[in-house]
Every structure is written in C-alpha cells, then in structure tokens.
C-alpha cells in the first residue's frame, strides 16, 4: 500500500509562520485477511494545522490534528473457530462498522 502526505508552510512575518498538512495511513494488511482489535485494515486520514511563533530566542508552536477512518468488518470463515464465528453469540451481526476518530493538540516550546 502506498501512503501520501502533503504539507505547506507560510511565513507571515519573521516571527510568525503557519503550516497545514494532510497525510494518509493506509493499512498494509489485505482486506481479505482476518483482523482483530490489534491488527486492523483501517485506512486513516489526518489533517494538521498550526502556527509557530518566535518570542525572543524561544520558539512556540501551537497546533491541532484531526484523524478519521474506519472499515466494515464482516464475519467469515476462520482457521480457529470461535463462539462468535460459529454463531453461538446471540444477536451476532453479520458485519460491524468501525469508526476511528482522533483529535490531538500540539504544544511545543524550545529555547
């Protein structure tokens, strides 16, 4: 799987700069392969934006990043059957839609 990233930075003044980026995090696991909570085939996308400020000899960076993605997990044959796959769990769905969301705040200070 091939991932992609694009970032831009703009200097507003000698002491203030802004930046923005977009990146992907595609799973290298084939969709057909069995997954659990640890090894997912989620295709994720991230947008990040922020500003960098020079204050005297120090640098301050503030930003935010939002990520999203997900997949639909379908039940299917497995090499080791479980109660879920054998249909022994009452109300076990044929498929389950899983969503991923993350919000990160960025704060960095250097002297």
Q: Cβ distance 21 to 47 under 8 Å? A: yes
Stretches in the chain below the pLDDT threshold 70: 28-40, 74-94
The domain total for the chain is: 1
In total, the chain counts a number of residues equal to 111
pLDDT of residue 87: 55
Q: State the pLDDT at residue 61.
A: 97
- Cβ–Cβ under 8 Å, residues 25 and 3: yes
Query: For position 76, what pLDDT does the model report?
Result: 54
Q: Are strands 43-55 and 58-74 parallel, antiparallel or unpaired?
A: antiparallel
Res 80: pLDDT? 46
Domain that holds residue 102: 5-110
Query: What confidence score (pLDDT) does residue 7 get?
Result: 97
Task: Name the CA radius of gyration of the chain, rounded.
Answer: 21
pLDDT at 99: 86
- Spatial contact of 18 and 7, defined as CB atoms under 8 Å apart: no
């Amino acid at each position: 799987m091939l991932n992609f990233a694009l970032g831009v930075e703009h200097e507003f003044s000698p002491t203030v700069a802004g930046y923005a980026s977009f990146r992907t995090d595609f799973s290298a696991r084939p969709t057909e392969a069995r997954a659990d909570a640890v090894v997912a085939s989620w295709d994720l996308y991230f947008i990040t934006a922020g500003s960098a400020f020079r204050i005297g000899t120090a640098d301050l960076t503030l930003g935010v990043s939002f990520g999203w993605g997900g997949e639909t997990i379908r039940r299917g044959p497995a090499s080791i059957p479980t109660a879920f796959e054998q249909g022994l769990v009452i109300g076990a769905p044929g498929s389950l839609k899983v969503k991923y969301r993350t919000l990160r705040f960025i704060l960095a200070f250097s002297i």
